[in-house]
Amino acid sequence: MCDIRSEEQVKAAIQKAVDTFGGIDILVNNASAISLTPTLETDMKRYDLMHQINLRGTFMVSKYAMPHLIESAKKGRNPHILNLSPPLSMKEQWFSPHVAYSMAKYGMSMCVLGMSGELRDAGIAVNALWPLTAIATAAIDLIAGEEARFSSRTDEIMSDAAYVILVQDSKIYTGNFCIDEDVLRSQGLTDFSKYAVKPGHDLAPDFFVDEDRQGQAAKPARAVSFLKSLKSKL
């Protein structure tokens, strides 16, 4: 366990990973706190929590993982940072209902924008992944109630999309804001029913995905081994 608000715990966790596995090739920044409240209803304790975990945590873990990712690149491996954060869209509709949360979540995406450029010459990929629809997690239960799961997909769609991204050439595929369904469509997948919590039920769109961006995520090269694994699941 690691509290990513704690600099010392983050340093210790990264060092333990290096000592255990001999280095770090992939960093996935997934930890996130959420409070979908307007400004007057957002107490500063919750504001601080979201920014400490979402933005500061992503920045700090990436910072301390970077030397090991650079070493990975020097050894000819395929180092990646993947942030679970939305495509950057500076539209009022994504901010006005919950300014504090949107600021914190978009901060993770700004790390992608900046660090992809910062690390490009080092051969380290930095990308973002975000779901097209709601994903059945504990957060969905908290925000919308257990019934909302029926309008969601399982988290397997995100793990499958993440795999496709993480096997791309880190020297080439970087700085992308990917949508899970678009990534999998680029691999030839057309039937997404297996990811539905309740097949046939209408799916709820996730936050931060503009209508004109759906279907326009960056297309990674085909991952042949991934296609074989997908076929084995169908």
* Extents of the domains making up the chain: 7-233
145: pLDDT confidence band, cut at 50, 70 and 90?
A: low
The domain made up of 7-233 has a fold known as: Rossmann fold (3.40.50)
For 85-99, 137-151, 156-170, which range has the lowest pLDDT when averaged over its residues? 137-151
- Whether 144 shows a pLDDT value over 50: the answer reads yes
Residue 62 contacts residue 27 (beta carbons within 8 Å): yes
Task: Kindly report the average pLDDT of the chain as a whole number.
Answer: 91
For 63-77, 163-177, 197-211, which range has the lowest pLDDT when averaged over its residues? 197-211
Catalytic residue flag (residue 101): yes
43: pLDDT confidence band, cut at 50, 70 and 90?
A: very high
- Whether 123 shows a pLDDT value over 90: the answer reads yes
149: pLDDT confidence band, cut at 50, 70 and 90?
A: confident
Query: Of 101, 106, 173, 195, which one is the catalytic site residue?
Result: 101
